[in-house]
Amino acid sequence: DVNNMRTLENRISFSAELANLMWFNDEKEARAMFKSVITDFRQLLTQFDAPETATETEEEASLLVGGRGGDFNRKFFKATAVRQQIATNLAEHDPQLAFDFLAETAQAISNPKLRLQLEQNSYFEMQLLNRIAEKNVDVALKHGLKALEKGFNVQMGELLKKIYAKDAEKGASFGEDILKKIKSVDATPDNFYHLNMLLSLGNENLEQIKKEPGKRPMFSEQSMRELADLLGKALLKRENLDSSEITQYLPQVEKFAPARAAQMRQKMNSKNTKNGTAPFGDAPRPPMPATNTSQADKQKKLMEDVESLNKKTLSKEERQKVVEQAKKIIASVKNREQKLFALSALAAQVALSGDKESASQIMDDARSLINPQPKNYREYTETWIVITGYAGVDTEKAFPMLENTIFRLNETISAAIKVAEFIDTSNDIIEDGEVQVGSFGGEITRGLLRSLGTIDMTIQNLAKADFVRAKALTNKFERQEIRILAKMIVLRGILGESHPSNGEIFD
């Protein structure tokens, strides 16, 4: 199916995803498949191995006629997105190979401006590093330090958290390297956000490790004082510093750098005196409204009861009482999507207690709330929530519902593509009658699995109940590219967590 796709970008993107999935079954074969993918991508890059002047000439000509940059640059953007997909798929199994691929393909472009675009894509690089840190701290740290040489960015804070969670010593060492880099740049009014983020991370970490004596903190006490001092210094340089910002940042600065906090108070008081307003911190505060916690306590108790439904200590009558109370609470929820999630969660707990008949009835209640003929994104999302709920308690009801949804989705996809073809005069979305999945960059199936939340568990439940039937549903999609994508999602949903019968899956 993949080889029959019309555009090279799609063939490469889907082949990379297939190689990724094959790795779960046969690493040697997967590496060979990735080698072929990389060869095809290098072939794709040859069309951009043009003199710099050629790109500039087309760009200028396009702008003269009101264009958006010319076919050359649009195609280069697509190639960049495909490159990201290949790297992301490689990184899941061999992070170092992913970075080698990025470096090699950047050097393959002779046009200096285009090569610079590839080399300076720090956002994608940090996204990739954050993914890699979940599996290989050493590779993430190695390339994180290299990225830090170019300067600190917000995503490095997330990378620091992930490295520290895997290895506190290496995480703390990376934290000190980050601080050194920040200190090498004088505190400016514009970098206060980065400083506050790091100070917040450090403060949160100090609270967390109180229960783990002897564990090295993310930042030492001296480092926390330096961060707080730098933050206060950066804020003091801001010309339009107002009391709301002082209120937001002062507590953390005061905790670790009280002298700098005093300067902040003094500056604000001086400003308020000139404006004729009360000194900072002296304005009377309105009394806090009385908080009625009884309702919240009741809901908390009910949630605890729901979670205990599968415990054998509860009698059938006690379980039924808890279920009825939960249904009353859920009925009062106004947001329909939240109500569907709540009913699905309740059904799952009831099923765990062994009463799948009652669980199925709860999902019937949820199903009655949705449009049986979904037309828009929200309605399809609500339908998926119900299918997900059924998949965990009654697959016989989930299968026909999913099949009907696919049937209706075919109509929606067909209509959407016709609109896209009408407005997409530059072939960014549709090319040669084919949706350019390769143009979206990043991940294909994993991104969709995350965006749909519990889809992987839903697929696993349906495939476990009847794999042949689940696989057959993917053929219900009319468009080839969507059909291939659906098959890969099924494979990803299964292989991402377990290793079922290889013969059954790869036949």
pLDDT tens for the chain, residues 1 to 507: 888 888 888 899 999 999 999 998 899 999 999 999 999 999 998 888 655 544 454 544 443 333 445 677 788 888 888 998 899 899 889 988 998 898 889 888 888 888 887 776 777 888 888 888 988 999 999 999 998 988 888 889 999 999 999 999 999 999 999 999 988 875 565 677 888 899 999 999 999 999 898 899 999 999 999 999 998 888 888 777 667 767 788 888 999 999 988 988 887 777 666 655 545 454 444 454 544 455 555 556 556 666 666 665 667 787 788 888 888 888 988 899 999 999 999 999 889 888 899 999 999 999 999 999 988 889 988 998 999 899 989 999 999 999 998 888 888 888 888 887 888 777 777 788 887 776 654 455 455 445 554 565 777 788 878 888 888 988 898 888 888 888 887 777 677 654 433 333 334
Last residue of a domain, one of 278, 313, 331: 278
Last residue of a domain, one of 278, 311, 346: 278
Neighbouring C-alpha atoms within 13 Å toward the C-beta of 191: 21
Q: Tell me the pairing of strands 434-435 and 430-431.
A: antiparallel
Closest CA to 471 of 455, 497, 443, 494: 494
Co-location of 429 and 318 in the same domain: yes
Its domain, for residue 232, covers 186-278
- Show the tokens assigned to 248: 């937001």
Co-location of 433 and 303 in the same domain: yes
Confidence at residue 300, expressed as pLDDT on a 0 to 100 scale = 60
- Residue 433 inside a domain? The answer is yes
The answer to whether the CB of 162 falls within 8 A of the CB of 133 is yes
- Residue 303 inside a domain? The answer is yes
Distance of CA 414 to the CA centre of its chain: 28
Confidence at residue 463, expressed as pLDDT on a 0 to 100 scale = 80
Confidence at residue 258, expressed as pLDDT on a 0 to 100 scale = 92
Co-location of 426 and 327 in the same domain: yes
Confidence at residue 223, expressed as pLDDT on a 0 to 100 scale = 94
- Residue 179 inside a domain? The answer is no
Co-location of 380 and 268 in the same domain: no
Confidence at residue 438, expressed as pLDDT on a 0 to 100 scale = 64
Burial of 259 (0-12, 13-18, 19+ CB in 10 A): exposed
- Residue 40 inside a domain? The answer is no
Co-location of 270 and 343 in the same domain: no
How many CB atoms within 10 Å of residue 38? 19
How many CB atoms within 10 Å of residue 306? 21
Sign of the torsion formed by the C-alpha atoms of 125, 130, 136 and 138: positive
- Residue 181 inside a domain? The answer is no
Q: Which amino acid, residue 124?
A: F
- Residue 268 inside a domain? The answer is yes
Neighbouring C-alpha atoms within 13 Å toward the C-beta of 79: 26
Co-location of 343 and 201 in the same domain: no
For residues 329 and 311, what is the distance between their CA atoms, to the nearest angstrom? 22
Total-model pTM: 0.68
For residues 97 and 194, what is the distance between their CA atoms, to the nearest angstrom? 31
* Helical pair 70-91 and 27-45, crossing angle rounded to 10 deg: 160
Confidence at residue 456, expressed as pLDDT on a 0 to 100 scale = 58
Co-location of 433 and 483 in the same domain: yes
Confidence at residue 203, expressed as pLDDT on a 0 to 100 scale = 93
**Total tally of structural domains belonging to the chain:** 2
Distance of CA 343 to the CA centre of its chain: 26
Contacts of 291 (CB under 8 A, 6+ apart): none
Co-location of 329 and 267 in the same domain: no
Sole residue written with tokens 């910002």: 245
For residues 45 and 42, what is the distance between their CA atoms, to the nearest angstrom? 5
Co-location of 383 and 268 in the same domain: no
Co-location of 249 and 310 in the same domain: no
Co-location of 197 and 222 in the same domain: yes
Co-location of 198 and 346 in the same domain: no
Last residue of a domain, one of 232, 250, 278: 278
Q: Which helix (H) or strand (E) element contains residue 232?
A: helix 221-236
Q: Which amino acid, residue 63?
A: L
- Residue 190 inside a domain? The answer is yes
- Residue 108 inside a domain? The answer is no
